[in-house]
Amino acid sequence: MVKEVKSVSDWFTINLGGKALRMQLAVRPKELERGLMERRDLGADDAMVFVFERPQPMSFWMRNTPTPLDIAYLSPEGALVEYYPAYPFDEKSLPSRSQRLQFVVETNQGWFRTNGISPGARLDLKALSAALTARGFDPRKFGLEP
């Protein structure tokens, strides 16, 4: 029996700082580019995680994004390094200070503060690896254990 490969619209429960988030994965170039544009349907604990193949500096913006978000930049080890509030339709870039980032989590603005999540908090990389596998990706391509 062949398993159905999940898509960018499927949800996965992945913890960040010990708090469960229902996340969608942006992995392919078009998914990374689109992100949460035009979305107005994020639940209180919904998020999108952007997965990059290698560590790099990050810069995100809010083009065509009507929902106020927190944009969090995480290290290859899954540690929260920094996060910023982002405002609807703001096309000003939010560049990272760190040069060594591999994951970005976008969630409702205020989620980190409300949940007491601060820099150093960890993303559950085992759950992320399982979600990548369910999406049809080899987690090793992103430096993760399968």
Q: Would the pLDDT of 127 be above 70? A: yes
Mean pLDDT within 2-24: 93
Percentage of the chain with pLDDT > 70? 98
Tell me, what's the pLDDT at 4? 84
Predicted local distance difference test score (pLDDT) of residue 55? 98
- Mean pLDDT over 55-65 rounds to 97
Residues 129-142 have pLDDT tens digits of 999 999 999 999 99
pLDDT of 2 > 80? The answer is: no
CATH, domain range 12-137: 2.60.120.1140
Q: Write out pLDDT tens, residues 70-101.
A: 999 999 999 999 999 999 999 999 999 999 99
Q: Measure the CA–CA gap between 138 and 123, rounded to whole angstroms.
A: 18
SS3 15: strand
pTM: 0.96
